[in-house]
Chains A and B, each alone.
Chain A
Amino acid sequence: MDSIYLPRAYLITDVIQETDGEVDVKTFRLAAKSGESLDFMPGQFVELTVPGFGEAPFGFASSPKNKDYVELSIKRVGVVTQAVHDLSPGDAVWLRGPFGNSFPVREMEGANILYVAGGLGLAPLRPLIDYVFHPENREKYGKTKLLSAARTPADFIYKYDVGRWKECRDFEIFQTIDAPYKSWEGRVGFPHELLKTMEILPDSLYAVVCGPPIMIKYTARALKELGVCESRIITTLEMRMSCGVGKCGKCNIGRRYVCVDGPVMRLSDLAQMPDEY
C-alpha cells in the first residue's frame, strides 16, 4: 500500500497570470501524468510539492466536475510558491490528496447562498460556485450572490469568470476594492461594511466566507448581526501544515486540526474554539 505521504506526478498544462497588482497570483492547470482523475469535493485541499523546495497545502480552485485537470491558484509569498511561480507549462509538480472536509453541499440544498471572498479567498469558493452552477446541481439551490473584495482592481482573480457566471440564472455579483482607485467606478469598502447595504434574507441563507483571518472575523460578525444563523456562516481556514492528515501536530486550533477537522468550519464551531487563528 502506498504511503499517505506519497505524492503523484502532475504536468502543468497551463499557467494563467491572475493579478497585476499588489499581490502576484497565478493559476496552474495540472493534469496527472498517469491520466487518472483527482476526485474531490468543494472546500478540500491538496499538498503540492516542487521537489527540492518542499510541500505546501493549497485549496482546489477548479470545478470538481472537471475530471481532466485540477487548478490551483497560488500567491507568490514563500519558498514553495516562488518555486511554483518559476515553473512553466510542461514542467512537473507533485500532488497528494485530496484532504480535509468539504462545504456541506447536501445540507445547503434548497437554500440561497451568499459567497463573500477577500482577495485570493475567491479561490476555494470557485469549486463551490461552479459545483452549484453545474447543470446537474443548479436546480437544487436557490439564489446566489457573490461579494468579491480585492485591494485594488488589478488584484481581482478570475476576472475572466465573471462574464460566464453572470450568464447563470439567479446570480448577482458585487465587487469592491479597499480604497478609492483611479478609473474604478465600482464599490469601495470592506465586505463587512458593504453587507449592511445589501439585501440579506437571513432565514434561508448560507453565507460562505473566505479570505484573510481579519476579514473573516469582521465579515462573520456582520453576518451574525444581520441575523444569519452561526451554523450557516461557513468559512475555510488556513494554517501551516506538513502532513495534511492529522499527524504532524502543526495546524491545530485548540483540539481541532485544520487538515482533518477542517479546513471548512462553521462560525458555530469557531465560537467554541480558542482564538488562535
Chain B
Amino acid sequence: MLLSASVKISSVKDALAALLKDYEVAAPVSDGANLLYSYITDPNDVVFSDQLPYKSPKEFLLPQTEKILAFGEDSAEDIQEAKKTVIFDVRPCDLSAFKRITDKVFSEGKFKDGFYMRRRKASATIGMACKSLKPGCFCNLRGIDKSYSTECDIFLTPAGEDEYIAAAHTPVGCDLLKSCFRSVPAAFSPEPAELSETLEICSEEKDVFEKVNWDAMSASCISCGTCTFVCPACHCFDFKDKGSVRYRVWDSCMYSAFTLHASGHNPRAGKPERFRQRFMHKYVYMLKNIGESACFGCGRCTRKCPAGINARRVLECIKAEAAGGSDG
C-alpha cells in the first residue's frame, strides 16, 4: 500500500464526476432488471450496493466485440483504440481474475496481445470490499479475501456508517486518490483474512478426464454458454470477418462449433465433452499451465445458470470422483 486515506461515502459521486473529466468511467448501473457494469455519463446513475453486477467487468479489457484490423490493398492495419478508463466498484474476485488469469494469458510469454495490453494499461481499477457472500459465491473456498485486495489501483473498504478507507496500491492510484477524491490521510492496516482451505482439484489430468462421470455431471446443462460470458476469467475468443474488417468476439467452449473442424470432425461434439472442457480448463489445465485455477468463486455462473447448475458443487463432485477408485 502506497497511501491510505479516509473518504466520505457522500463525496464519492463528486470523485466520479471529477474522474469523468479525463476518463471513461465504467460502474454498476441498473437496467431495470439487472445490475451491470456500464459506461456512465452521470455519477447519479451509479448503484451503490453489495450485490455483484451479473456480468464481470472483463468487457472493458476484452470487449465482447472489438475491431482488431482492417485489410487494405497491400497491407493490413491494426486498430489500436484504447480509451482511458476507470472501472469502479470491482470486487476482489474479479480483480484476481484479471491480475492472475487474463493478464498472464494476454500479457506474458512469447506472444503478447497488444489489444488487451493497451486497454489494461489505459485502465485504472477501483476495487471495493464485499460485505457478504451472496448466494452462489464461494470466493472463500478459492483463496480470495472478499474484504480486501491489493490487485487494483485503489481499494475501498467501508469504515463506519459514512466512510471508506481508500488504499492506493499503485502510483496511478495515488494520483487519482489525490486529484479526484476529497480525502484525509488515515492509517489503515487491513485485518488478515480468515480463509477456508482452498478447494482445488489435485488429481492428475488423465484421472480427472477419465474417472469423472461427465455424462451425469453435465446432464442438466443446456449448452447456453451463459456461464462463460458472465465469468471474469473465461477469455476464449474467435475472429469474425465482415467485409475488410476483422473483429475479435467472445466465444464459448460450451458451443459445439467452438471445436468443429471444417471436415465435420469434432473432438468435443457432445455436451459432456464440452462441460468437461470448461471445468478442466479452469481447474486443471490452467492450474498446471500458469499455476492458478481460472475461478475465483464469484458465483456468477451459478446465479445465472438457467439449469440451476452450482459450480461449487460440481467442483466438489469432480474432486471426489477424480480422487476415487478407477471405476469412477
**A: which residues have CB within 8 A of B?**
1-9, 33, 49, 51-56, 77-81, 94, 213, 238-240, 242-243, 245-250, 252-255, 260, 272-274, 276-277
Contacts and interface: CB of A to CB of B under 8 A. Distances in A.
Interface stretch (B21-29, B107-115, B149-157): B107-115
A5 B68 contact: yes
13 contacts: A3-B69, A3-B78, A52-B243, A54-B241, A55-B246, A77-B263, A239-B259, A249-B281, A252-B277, A255-B284, A272-B206, A273-B206, A274-B210
B54 interface: no
B220 to A, nearest CB: 23
A255 B288 contact: yes
Q: Is the interface of B mostly helix, strand, loop or mixed?
A: mixed
B210 A51 contact: no
B91 interface: no
A55 B113 contact: no
Contact of A250 (B258, B280, B285): B258
B71 to A, nearest CB: 4
A246 B267 contact: no
Contacts of A3: 68-69, 78, 113-115
B268 interface: yes
A254 B205 contact: yes
Given A5-B246, A55-B246, 18 more contacts: A3-B114, A5-B115, A52-B242, A52-B243, A52-B244, A55-B239, A247-B237, A248-B236, A249-B281, A250-B251, A253-B267, A254-B206, A255-B288, A255-B289, A272-B206, A274-B205, A274-B209, A277-B267
Contacts of A250: 236, 238, 251, 258-259
B193 interface: no
Contacts of B109: 246
A247 B281 CA distance: 13
B76 A94 contact: yes
A9 B74 CA distance: 6
A274 B206 contact: yes
Interface residues of B, number: 52
Interface in B254-308: 258-263, 265, 267-268, 273, 277, 280-281, 284-285, 288-289
B75 interface: yes
Given A8-B75, A54-B241, A248-B238, A79 B262 contact: yes
Contacts of B209: 254, 274, 276
Contacts of B285: 252, 254-255
A4 B112 contact: yes
A54 B239 contact: yes
Contacts of B284: 255
B205 A255 contact: yes
B241 A240 contact: no
A248 B210 CA distance: 25
Interface in B176-227: 205-206, 209-210
B39 interface: no
A1 B106 CA distance: 15
Interface in B52-96: 68-69, 71, 73-76, 78
B253 interface: yes
A2 B78 contact: yes
Q: Which of A6, A55, A247 has the most CB of B within 10 A?
A: A247
Contacts of B205: 254-255, 273-274
> What 7 A-B pairs have minimum CB-CB distances, sorted nearest first?
A78-B262, A249-B236, A245-B111, A255-B285, A274-B209, A51-B71, A77-B262
Nearest to A259: B111
B105 interface: yes
B318 to A, nearest CB: 14
Nearest to B71: A51
Contact of A247 (B106, B210, B241, B246): B106
B260 A4 contact: no
A240 B78 contact: no
Contacts of B78: 2-3, 6
A250 B256 CA distance: 11
B120 interface: no
B236 A9 contact: no
B258 to A, nearest CB: 6
Nearest to A78: B262
Nearest to A96: B76
B235 interface: yes
Interface string B16-47: 00000000000000000000000000000000
Nearest to B288: A255
Given A55-B239, A248-B238, A255-B285, A81 B71 contact: no
Contact of B71 (A94, A213, A245, A272): A94
Nearest to B242: A52
A78 B110 CA distance: 31
Contacts of B246: 5, 49, 55
Nearest to B112: A4
Given A51-B244, A255-B205, A274-B209, A1 B114 contact: yes
Contacts of A9: 73-76
Contacts of B259: 239-240, 250
